[in-house]
Amino acid sequence: MRRPALYSSSQRNSPAPGQTASDQPGDREPPQALAAAPGRPDSGTARLRQHFSLHNIRLLWAVVGLLSLLLAISLATSMQPAARKLTQKDINAAVLKTLETTVLPSPAVKAYEAIIPSVVRVVGLGKPTVDKDGDEHAGRSVGTGVVITDKGVILTNLHVVQGAETIKITFSDGLESSASITGVQPENDLAVLQAHKIPDDMIAATLRSTADLAPGDQVVAVGYPFGIGPSASSGIISGLKRTFRSPDGEQAIGNLIQFDAAANPGNSGGPLVTMEGEVIGIVTAIYNPNQQRSFVGIGFAVPIENAASAAGMHPF
């Protein structure tokens, strides 16, 4: 079979007479130019094998390096000491350290802050009176009240508002309003008021049962003694189920809470609260053996169960 012509870079000789171009010895490529001779590797195949050999070596070293890194991480982790479990002793020490370095508010402060949004100043204005010298005096009494519902229902003492033509209320945020008497409980010297205007964020006091009270429990009285306030005084419950008789002897009130937190005229109708700021009674009287209007260490409050019933409430 005739082979196709291949171009060569060698110079061609003219064919001898009687010979064709294909018959000249110099015009035919040697067989090794078309295919690799048997037993000799082709140069391209050799380069390819060399490339794969280098690639395999590099890949092997990469795998070895990765395994070495993982082994080092594993050894480092295993050598780290395990985290110590917290004990109750650790927790107690941390709490004690916090208490030693942090100034906490006193229980009386917390009680005052809890009740003060619900405490109001109550002023009763009556008809002017004329004394023997002909001088006219405006009838005026000042006391305290405590808001027991967010609708503006207020508990106070009856003697603060009795006979008043106008009752004015001042809330803790300074808002002033008139009020009306909606209920009375004369046997406990209590009156229920309804404010005609209330703050938008009116906060009612929390009432607490007196069933578990005992002498020695701490209490705070909040009010407007002599119109000054709001003022707070702290003390303890001195006794339970006491009876108080008015100076004129006309009225006796029983089942009272006796306490020694300072109270004076103007505290009447204000709340007596626990250290949590919960109302347990309405301050109603102070003992005056010398008939002087000053505190001698004995005050009385109507239990909140009786006071709430005056407003038609039975919270416990």
**Is 233 an active-site residue?**
no
Sign of CA dihedral 117, 312, 194, 229: negative
Kindly name the residue from 118, 141, 189, 234 that is annotated as catalytic: 189
Q: Which two tokens stand for residue 61?
A: 């070293």
Q: Is the dihedral of CA 102, 106, 107, 109 positive or negative?
A: negative
Q: First and final CA of the chain: distance in angstroms?
A: 123
User: What number of other Cβ atoms are within 10 A of residue 27's Cβ?
Assistant: 17
Amino acid occupying residue 230: P
55 is catalytic: no
Catalytic residue, from 118, 233, 234, 268: name it. 268
159 a catalytic residue: yes
- The residues near 129 (Cβ < 8 Å, ≥ 6 apart) are 136, 137, 139
Do β-strands 166-170 and 176-185 pair in parallel, antiparallel, or remain unpaired? antiparallel
Q: Which positions ≥6 away from 226 have C-beta within 8 Å?
A: 142, 264, 265, 266
Options 159, 234, 238, 260, the catalytic residue: 159
Catalytic residue numbers, as ranges:
159, 189, 268
